Amino acid sequence: MSVRGVRGAITVDANEEQPILNATTDLLERVVAANGIVPDDICSVFVTVTRDLDATFPARAIRTMPGWELVPLMCALEVPVKGSLEKCIRLMVMINTEKTQQQIEHIYMGRAQALRPDLAKA
């Protein structure tokens, strides 16, 4: 078994609590479904937001998901590079898995597809 990182990113239209929480839940659910992840397989989840998203902590959404109560979570600000994608939530889900790097499915949604067009699926 190996530890692998699964990446994901999504954008929101507004710096408001509910859109941030909904987008975080939507993104994590897609990451989990695409990779067959269960909470017991997770080492930790690292969440970053761009500095224009300060209405809530995205980890609040994850904490309310059934079975995720004990998963270690951490939120931080994304590096504020000039001209970078705005209103973006990024996840790094660290999992214990038998999958190879090539078998991992990273999820990029909304305008965040521009971050990794090589990995984003339409």
Residue 122 lies in a domain: no
Whether 4 sits among the annotated catalytic residues: the reply is no
Structure tokens at 16: 């408001």
Task: Find out whether 119 and 106 touch, Cβ atoms under 8 Å.
Answer: yes
The closest of 52, 30, 53, 47 to 94, measured between CA atoms, is 47
The Cα-based distances of 106 to 10, 102, 113, 115, 118 in angstroms read 12, 10, 11, 12, 10
Would you say residue 121 lies in a domain?
A: no
**Does residue 120 belong to any structural domain of this protein?**
no
Q: Please say if 63 is a catalytic residue.
A: yes
Mean pLDDT, to the nearest integer, of 23-31? 97
The answer to whether position 53 is within a domain reads yes
Question: Does 50 score more than 60 pLDDT?
Answer: yes
Respond yes or no: is residue 78 known to be catalytic: yes
Residues spanned by the domain of 55: 2-115
Number of domains in the chain: 1
Task: Read off the pLDDT of each residue in 32-48 and give the average, rounded to a whole number.
Answer: 95
- Predicted confidence at residue 36, as pLDDT, reads 96
pLDDT, one tens digit per residue, over 73-122 is: 999 999 999 999 999 999 999 999 999 999 999 999 999 999 998 887 64
Q: What is the pLDDT of residue 55?
A: 98
- Give the residue from 50, 62, 44 showing the smallest Cα distance to 11: 50
Which residue type, as a one-letter code, is found at position 24?
T
